[in-house]
Chain A
Amino acid sequence: QVQLQESGPGLVKPSETLSLTCTVSGGSVSRGPSHWTWIRQPPGKGLEYIGYIYYSGSTNYNPSLKSRVTISADTSKNQFSLKLRSVTAADTAVYFCARGRYDSGTYYADYWGQGTLVTVSS
């Protein structure tokens, strides 16, 4: 049973960098076939894919955020992280980390963290 837990500041000032960490248990960020994923959900709205990192270190980002996003992994701590630069109020959202899998060509997120609300405000 894979478990994920997000952590990080709940309040970030405009133009600063949002930094979140996801701690994984019951799985390894350094072994396949998992794709360690970040997804966000603005209050009262739908889900938006941010990106993922594969155990090999390869990454995939949503082009709408690519210029501002970095996802990385710390295998020694079995964690992966999200950095989103130059945030604005539009980045206020619940941020979820998730374990994604590609199975027969289809990707699905089968384990999720509980989510953490990040508010961008001065």
Chain B
Amino acid sequence: DIQMTQSPSSLSASVGDRVTITCRASQSISRYLNWYQQKAGKAPNLLIYEASSLQSGVPSRFSGSGSGTDFTLTITTLQPEDFATYYCQQSFSTPLTFGQGTRLEIK
């Protein structure tokens, strides 16, 4: 199985900040990397697919980049509704695997 490692595991930031979350794969996954946002008690919500494609309806302050083994999710100008947990997920091979999550908290 491909292991996905996110960093940091938790992050404190303020409204208006720019934040970056990193996801590293245990082997090259090309650009087969997705990002999800999950709020407490809710289902995950797809933000970014294929490393950098913004899902329809997702605000443009979210962006993704990377290829191979290293990927980033960037949120510019944090909004109050962005405080949540973020997961990366690889689809290069099955079983599909997720990172352990990054919890974004209000400072």
Interface residues of A, Cβ cutoff 8 Å to B: 46-49, 60-64, 96, 98, 102-110, 112-115
Contacts and interface: CB of A to CB of B under 8 A. Distances in A.
A112 B39 CA distance: 13
Nearest to A4: B43
Residues of B in contact with A, size category: 20 to 34
B76 to A, nearest CB: 22
Contacts, number: 64
Contacts of A98: 43
Contacts of A49: 94-98
27 contacts: A46-B87, A46-B99, A46-B100, A46-B101, A47-B36, A47-B87, A47-B89, A49-B96, A60-B94, A96-B44, A102-B91, A103-B50, A106-B32, A106-B50, A107-B34, A107-B91, A107-B96, A108-B55, A109-B36, A109-B44, A110-B46, A110-B49, A110-B55, A112-B43, A112-B45, A114-B42, A114-B43
A109 B91 CA distance: 10
